Structures are given as C-alpha cells and as structure tokens.
Amino acid sequence: MWRLAFVLSILYLTSGLPAGAQDCMPDTISLTTQADVDNFQANHGPCTHVVGGLGVGGPDIVNLDGLSGVTSVGSSLTVQGTGALAAVDLPGLATIGDDLYIVGNGSLTSVALSGVTSVGGTGFLPGIVFVFNNAALETLELPNLTSIHREIEIGQNDALLSVALPELAVVRTVRIEDNPSLAAVDLPSLETLEGNLVIREHPALASVGLANLTTVNGRLGISESGPLAELVFPQLSTVIGSLGIGGHPNLRLVDLPNLERAAINPLTEPVVSFDSNPSLETLNLLRLNVVRFLQISNCDALTSIDLPDLENVWVDIFIRFNDQLRSVSMPAVTFVGSGILISGNPSLSLCCGLLPVLRPGVVQQFVFIDNNAPGCNSVGEIEGFCLVQIPTVGPWGLALLATLLALAGVAAARRTSASGGDRRAGPPG
C-alpha cells in the first residue's frame, strides 16, 4: 500500500510539468553572483525545470538573462537582496510549485512574469506570492496569473503605481498594504475569497476594481486612502467576517447594491463598520438583510440611512456622530439581539422609520436614542413626532403604519417649509 501511495504522490507532484521538461541539478539552486546567473545552464543543465527551490540574491546581480530557459520551479522562486537588479523578466516561466518571494531589492523597478499561470497547489505546498519592501518597484505584471493556492501580499513598495491581476480567479487571501504611490487596484476576475481581502494605507489610491466579487468568507477591509471617491461592489452578496470601510477623506459613494449578509461569523465577533468617511454622501445597503453588528459613524456628509430589507441584527446597531444625518429608516427589522444606540447626530430629526424597530419584543436589551435633533431624542419623542403610538403590527398594521409614516413625513416637511427652519438644527441648549 505504501508503494502505491508513494507512486501516486510522485505522479501528483509532477503532473503540472510541461511535456519534455528536463530537471536541473541539484534539486535546490542558489545563485549569488552575476556569474552564477550567466552560467546557469552550464552548471545546472541543460534543463528547463528546477525540481526544488530557486534563489537569486547578491549585490552584483544586474540581470536574469541566464534563466531564460527555465519554464517551471517545483518549490519556491525567491529574488531577495539584490542591489543592482532592475528587472525580474522571465517570459518562459509558467508555473511555480510553492511560493514566489520578491523582497528587499533596492534597485528593482519592474517585475514581468507574463507566462506564469499558477503559484502553489502542487502537492501539499502552500502557494504564496509575497512582494515586499522593493523601494523602487513601479510595475508588477502578472497578466496571465489565474490561481494562487493560498495568498498574495503586496506591501511597502514605495514607488508601485498599480496592482492589476486581470486573470486572477483563485486565491484564498489578498493583502495589499502600505504602498504609498499606489493609485489603482484591479482584480476583475476574482469572484470568491475563502479568506480575507485587505487594502489599506494608500494615500494615493484613486480606484479599486472588484467588479465580479460575490463572496468573502473572511474579512473585507478597505481603509486609509487619499483621493478614492467611489467604492462599488456590484455583485458582492456575502461577507462572512467583518466588513470595514473607513478613513477615506474623499470617499463620496459606497455602493453595495446586492449585499444581503455581512458579519455573520459567530466565532469571531465581526462588525460591519463605516467609520471616518467625512465626505460620504451615499451609502447603498438596500438589500442588506442579516448582520451581526452594524456601525455607521463619523460620516459627516451622509444625510440619510435607508435599510429597507434589514430584518435580523444579531447584536447591535450603532449610529453616531454623523453631522448632517437627517433621517434613518429600518422598516423591516424584527430582531435586535442586544441593543440600539443612535446618538450625537445633531441634524437627525426624521426617525419615523425607526418605529417598527421600537415595537415591544424587537430589541432585546437596550435602546439609547439621545443627543440628536428635536424629534429624535428618545422613544417617546419619536412617537410624539410621528403622531402614533407603537402598535403591535400585523399584516393590516404594517399597511396602516406605512401610511402614517408617509403622512408624518409630509407634515414634517410642511412645518419646516412654513417656519423656514432647518432640520439640521442641533438639540436645544
């Protein structure tokens, strides 16, 4: 039995090799000088397949021309600590069995691996792409890369202008962090992530393209960008872990038109958070149905929060410190596991859309509503302003409540128009 298992493992490990591949000797190869690179075929070949790992690093290495015949690396490809290398250009390389590391290359300006289609996934090897601390790197080209068995991490590349992976469809986790010149991220083929998607600390970031992303089974976080004005996820329907969008001074639109479930992993206490986006004007969560914890705070330009499909909140809803927020509506909520905090929104006066949430038995623990504009400073004030007591709502009650809410909104608008007042006026002193 052990002989069969051994044979099968060998067949699996070699199944991804190109036809006619010739093995380089020895299995693992380290190149530390330009002469090592230039004499690669003479010393290790003739060959096309590095059985184990291939490492390149040394202060005098200026090009990788001697590796042009290599088509596959069985384990890891590492380019690290080169002082003079300007480009990693290996057009013949198609597969990397384990990891790709490009780290700490001070003069490197370009990575072009146009033939690479997969990283990892051979045998039990993890598959990581790690591009880190290459101060001069401007372009990263992996145009045909379709799968990374585990994760890709791109960080601290001061001159990197864009991350575009047009064919990448399979990867567990994506982390893009702290690349000061990065202006664009585009992952148009990515549909499902089993792990996390994190994009943060990019003062020059202007666009994020995730046109076909539908599911993130871990965490989705996009934070601390500079000129980024829009975040649009047209297909995203589920985020199992936390969803956080925050620290974007110029962000005006967050459009999540198909998001239905978010932050629903009971083991990790996830949160849906939109925080510290002072220019945010539009937040589209129209189909959000289930969430563990929802927080919307410090979004000063946001004038309305409308959650027409939200039914189930496992823990809390916090809406705080949104200076221009005028109205909040959650007409379909039937359960809040812990509580609601709506406070410190000085323009918030239209809270009739909260009446269904405030029905007996919906919120299980606490309701704190205060420090908003008149009309939305307590449950009693909301009831009085909306001209109704909170009913026990059945099918006919819902229709009646909807009618009364509409009439209350019209009446409020007429009072404001007649008085010439401003609904954004703060609470009385």
- Return d(Cα 373, Cα 420) in angstroms, integer: 16
Read off the amino acid at residue 165: L
Note the pLDDT tens digit of each residue in 229-272: 999 999 999 999 999 999 999 999 999 999 999 999 988 889 99
Q: Could you give the 3-state DSSP secondary structure of residue 399? A: helix
Whether 349 is in a domain gets the answer no
**What DSSP string runs through 282-348?**
EEE-TT--EEEEEEEES-TT--EEE-TT--EEEEEEEEE--TT--EEE-TT--EESSEEEEE--TT-
41-71 per-residue burial string, b: 16 or more CB within 10 A, e: under 16: beebbebbbbbbbbbbbbeebeebebbebbb
Pair 67, 96: CB distance under 8 Å:
no
Taking 80 as the threshold, does the pLDDT of residue 418 lie above it? no
> From the DSSP assignment, how many helices (H) and strands (E) are in the chain?
5, 37
- Return d(Cα 354, Cα 356) in angstroms, integer: 6
Whether 95 is in a domain gets the answer yes
CATH of the domain at 61: 3.80.20.20
Taking 80 as the threshold, does the pLDDT of residue 421 lie above it? no
Whether 87 is in a domain gets the answer yes
Structural domain tally of the chain?
1
At residue 121 the predicted structure's pLDDT band, cuts being 50, 70 and 90, is: confident
Greatest Cα-to-Cα distance within the chain, rounded to the nearest angstrom: 91
- Return d(Cα 24, Cα 4) in angstroms, integer: 26
Whether 318 is in a domain gets the answer no
| Tokens describing residue 341 | 């905090």
- Return d(Cα 138, Cα 121) in angstroms, integer: 28
Whether 31 is in a domain gets the answer yes
- Quote the distance between the C-alpha of residue 292 and its chain's center: 18
> What range does the domain containing 140 cover?
22-162
Whether 74 is in a domain gets the answer yes
Whether 102 is in a domain gets the answer yes
128 CB-side CA count, 13 A: 11
Note the pLDDT tens digit of each residue in 34-81: 999 999 999 999 999 999 999 999 999 999 999 999 999 999 999 999
The overall average pLDDT reported for the chain is 88
Hunting for tokens 């005098």 — which residue is that? 60
| Tokens describing residue 414 | 């007429």
Whether 213 is in a domain gets the answer no
